[in-house]
Structure 1
């Protein structure tokens, strides 16, 4: 290999004239820096990057949910509920309501036979005031929203912690436990029907916890009767109503006779009454309709052991009262 050849390989030696000429011509295209090369990616680093991005996204979503939750529940004591929809010519404090009206504490909504109105319950739900109804906004602040139902029918859909929203009547207070419900009242008697979740009704002399799909009759003097399912037999409903409100203990035999397996919820509700007689007979009928859970005894039921009653009730699969947030669909606008 001569000097000219060595120059072509390692630029040592002296180039010939032609090689030198080519170098001069092509010099402008010569790269003046080392060629940059990318280091191969580490698969583990890529996974860590994805995990970090996912963690950031989860944190952002969690913060957004928390912010939404607290904003939903926060409400000033002088806040006004907005009208969401109007049908016909309902009135607010005697004047015909308008689409963008609001109501505050002590304001009254009245509907006739051809009108209705829907209002937002602060930021936690909706209240539909049906025809021939009169309601008054009693109280509204963070954590507590109450209306007075003088007469008529209201449908409520609320997504909030238990007892945030309630409807007062002369027969007692219906408190939402994360639910949707309908309450009808004529001034002396009525009916509360639970669509989802639970309703706690606290009356002058009685209280009732009413599960989804059930309802309870109301009277001004006592409060709620024993909850029963809307598809219960007519014979069972009539016997239960008479037993609840006519003070005839002898009717318990008919209640037990007409009870079917689905009516076990109602029989357990009877056991919630402290002064109920015939606990042994109720236990015996319940035991034929649904097996007593382990640890629930006839002696305990007769003695008024409320923990046993609760255990038996949970075995029916009625849902957990405390898990109100599972009724999240009630937070969505009503269709």
Structure 2
């Protein structure tokens, strides 16, 4: 960027009315500034689009209540109280964030939809890049093709790919509600495919030590841990070893696998772990 040039990625979000009537934001019609603390609320027939500097857009669906929490050089932050938004953002990690009653959605350069129902429960669907769902020390890493639920008081659930088996998804929902339920865990371990290593990797830190060994054994059969990653290190939840194994899992994820096959067919280079976009 040239000296003295303004970084448009840091421009404050500006909403524009696409249809119907947006409540509580008279600036919408004129594409004016959206004041910090102000609510943007659509009714059953209205839609709006928020342009976030030069980094992307947020589409606001009908019956949605969205607030501008803050905007500045370090982050743009919204709060989704209810309804649905669709974000399409290309920016450095952690520049765009959305609060929900169940978790904070941290954009890592991606496209996603985020829904919150009347009870505050949410659902994230990622179609490009990655989103980190965070609540306190609990985090869920959600790549393209994956979905993740979140609940007030419980934080983010365990991510899964949308094409996982019905039995796998039902068992995961039961696990997230009941905790380390042995019956649910047995189904998850038995039903898991290599792509479901995403879910098993998260479960390593969400089960008790005896069950962690069971999850480790299944994940190691599906996608063997890379060099330097040991059973002992994983069982004690060593951060570096867990991160290394996650990178080794990425080529088995659906979108990564499809892109790798396409690149191989067309003579391109294989998609390296860590570049899942």
Task: Give 3-state SS (helix, strand or coil) of 2:83's partner.
Answer: strand
Shift of 1:218: 0.6
Cα distance between partner residues in 2 of 1:204 and 1:170: 13
Q: Counterpart in 2 of 1:135?
A: 66
Q: Counterpart in 1 of 2:157?
A: 225
**C-alpha contact (below 8 Å) 1:274/1:304 kept by paired residues:** no
Indicate whether 1:150 and 2:85 are aligned. Answer: no
- Decide whether aligned partners of structure 1 residues 277 and 249 sit closer, same or farther in structure 2, where only a CA change above 3 A counts: farther
Shift of 1:270: 1.3
Cα distance between partner residues in 1 of 2:185 and 2:4: 52
Q: Counterpart in 2 of 1:72?
A: 8
Shift of 1:201: 1.1
Indicate whether 1:112 and 2:112 are aligned. Answer: no
In the superposition, the TM-score normalised over structure 1's length comes to 0.69
In the superposition, the TM-score normalised over structure 2's length comes to 0.82
Indicate whether 1:192 and 2:124 are aligned. Answer: yes
**C-alpha contact (below 8 Å) 1:91/1:97 kept by paired residues:** no
Q: Counterpart in 1 of 2:259?
A: none
Indicate whether 1:160 and 2:96 are aligned. Answer: no
Cα distance between partner residues in 2 of 1:205 and 1:297: 24
**C-alpha contact (below 8 Å) 2:49/2:57 kept by paired residues:** yes
**C-alpha contact (below 8 Å) 1:204/1:221 kept by paired residues:** no
**Structure 2 residue runs without a partner (length 5+):** 252-271
Cα distance between partner residues in 2 of 1:227 and 1:312: 17
Shift of 1:320: 6.3
Shift of 1:127: 0.8
Shift of 1:83: 2.8
What's the Cα RMSD here?
Answer: 2.5
Cα distance between partner residues in 1 of 2:10 and 2:202: 35
| Residue among 18, 23, 32 paired with 1:86 | 18
Q: Name the one with the larger helix percent.
A: 1
**C-alpha contact (below 8 Å) 2:16/2:29 kept by paired residues:** no
Task: Give 3-state SS (helix, strand or coil) of 1:315's partner.
Answer: helix
Q: Larger Cα Rg: Structure 1 or Structure 2?
A: 1
Indicate whether 1:180 and 2:116 are aligned. Answer: no
Cα distance between partner residues in 1 of 2:223 and 2:54: 42
Indicate whether 1:246 and 2:165 are aligned. Answer: no
Shift of 1:163: 0.8
**Deviation digits for residues 86-134 of structure 1 (CA, Å, limit 9, x no counterpart):** 12222234x6952534422112111122211001113321111111100
| Residue among 250, 255, 258 paired with 2:188 | 255
**C-alpha contact (below 8 Å) 1:73/1:143 kept by paired residues:** no
